[in-house]
Amino acid sequence: MSNRYDNMKYVRCGRSGLLLPQISLGLWQSFGDTYPLQNSRNMLHTAFDLGITHFDIANNYGPPPGAAEKNFGRIYREDFIQHRDELIISTKAGYPMWDGPYGDFGSRKYLVASLDQSLKRTGLDYFDIFYHHRPDPETPLEETMTALDHIVRSGKALYVGISSYNVEQTKAAAAMLKHLGTPCLIHQPVYNMFNRWVEDGLLATLEEEGIGCIPFSTLAQGILSGRYLDGIPADSRIGMGSIFLREDSLQESTLNKVRKLKEIADSRNQTLAQLAITWIRRKPQITTVLMGASKPSQIEEIVASLSHPALTPEELAKIEQILASK
């Protein structure tokens, strides 16, 4: 018998029947074709053995787009297929995926076709969660939400979620989905010490609506791990040439804050990455923290933070001061 379920806690996702692990693993940038497949395999095993039962993907994750689903599918078929009923696997559509007018945004045509492609690439029979990846300013929201409802009714996904919808869009989407009989399970917003937009109404809305919250980029893509305090390591996201995180994100004022935050982490015998996760988890609306990783040890480090003490009011006040400083 495995002991993978001994330590991880599982949290109810909003007002649903689904429990998610306190930490989930995202496959955005380091499961594409530029990282060795064996490394991806090791990370998935490390995560699952620590009780991480939720893997988050999207149609466009790579590089190149589609590669994360393809690589995940291969590892899943070789190593995890017998565990299918122990896993929650999500994918999304909403960003550019193929040429022409039907490979982007939020039409029923795009969402249904993209999900069919995701099922082929991964070899899964169904996804547990299917997301609309970002709001579409032109497609009527009714069309997108009706497509999500259709997807669940067709058996291709069990639950649906939305990502990066603002408060008004979230309320409207939640109302439509409720009316259709396919409640919105979960919202996936960016949230970290440098980007706190969710505190301005979104978290309260999710609580009211009974929708779970799975924040992403909680380490600001690695900046809040202190990884860049002494230059750019060759094996880091910036060092590996990511198009989503570049050297110009490393402003001196940002790095100064990171240095000061690290002093608080040191005083708590935590790493800075662990402090950043403890800080996110102070909000009761957070169902699970969606982490990214480029190596198994990072997953072990983040999961270890789950047993660390909560931040004291004094520590929280110090963090506020640092974040407010110039």
> CA-based angle 49:93:106, to the nearest 5?
155
Least gap, CB of 313 to ligand NAP (angstroms): 26
94 touches 100 (CB < 8 A):
no
- Judged by beta carbon, residue 1 or residue 234, the one nearer ligand NAP is 234
Q: Does 278 interact with ligand NAP (rule: CB under 6 A)?
A: no
| Total residues binding ligand NAP (CB under 6 A) | 29
Measured CA to CA, the distance from residue 44 to residue 78 in angstroms comes to 12
Q: Is 167 exposed, middle or buried (0-12, 13-18, 19+ CB in 10 A)?
A: middle
Amino acid at 101: P
Short-list 205, 189, 111, CA closest to 156: 111
Work out the burial of residue 23: count CB atoms within 10 Å of its CB; fewer than 13 is exposed, 13-18 middle, 19 or more buried: buried
**Contacts (CB under 6 A) with ligand NAP, residues 85-144:** 133
Residue number with CB closer to ligand NAP (237 or 257): 237
CB neighbour list of residue 101: distance below 8 Å, 6 or more residues apart? none
Contact with ligand NAP (CB under 6 A) among 13, 18, 23, 27: 27
Out of 222, 261, 285, 296, the residue judged to bind ligand NAP by CB under 6 A: 222
* Residue selected from 187, 237, 257, 281 as contacting ligand NAP according to rule CB under 6 A: 237
Is residue 163 part of the contact set for ligand NAP (CB under 6 A)? yes
Token digits of residue 181 = 């009989």
Tally of CB atoms within 10 A around 246: 11
Q: Quickly count helices (H) and strands (E) in the chain.
A: 10, 10
Binding residues among 175-204 for ligand NAP as defined by CB under 6 A: 188
φ, ψ for residue 312 (rounded to 5)?
A: -80, 165
Of 98-106, 195-203, 213-221, 317-325: span binding ligand NAP (CB under 6 A): 213-221
Return the closest-CA partner of residue 25 out of 70, 71, 88, 97.
88
Closest to ligand NAP by CB, 82 vs 269, is 269
C-alpha dihedral sign at 278, 282, 287, 289: negative
Q: Which of 273, 275, 311, 319 binds ligand NAP (CB under 6 A)?
A: 273
Can residue 206 be called a binding residue for ligand NAP (CB under 6 A)? no
Q: Which is nearer to ligand NAP, 93 or 119 (CB)?
A: 93
Q: Return the residues of window 52-81 that contact ligand NAP according to CB under 6 A.
A: 56
Nearer to ligand NAP, 153 or 266 (CB): 266
* 63 cis-preceded (ω within 30 degrees of 0): yes
Q: Which is nearer to ligand NAP, 2 or 231 (CB)?
A: 231
Per-residue b/e over 45-72, b at no fewer than 16 CB within 10 Å? ebbbebbbbbbbbbbbbbbebbbbbbbb
- Looking at the Cβ atoms of 1 and 157, the one nearer to ligand NAP is 157
Site for ligand NAP, residues 280 to 299, rule: CB under 6 A: 290-294, 298
Among 104, 128, 209, 301, binds ligand NAP (CB under 6 A): 301
Among 148, 176, 193, 219, binds ligand NAP (CB under 6 A): 219
What residue ranges bind ligand NAP (CB under 6 A)?
26-28, 30, 56, 133, 163-164, 188, 216-222, 225, 227, 236-237, 273, 290-294, 298, 301-302
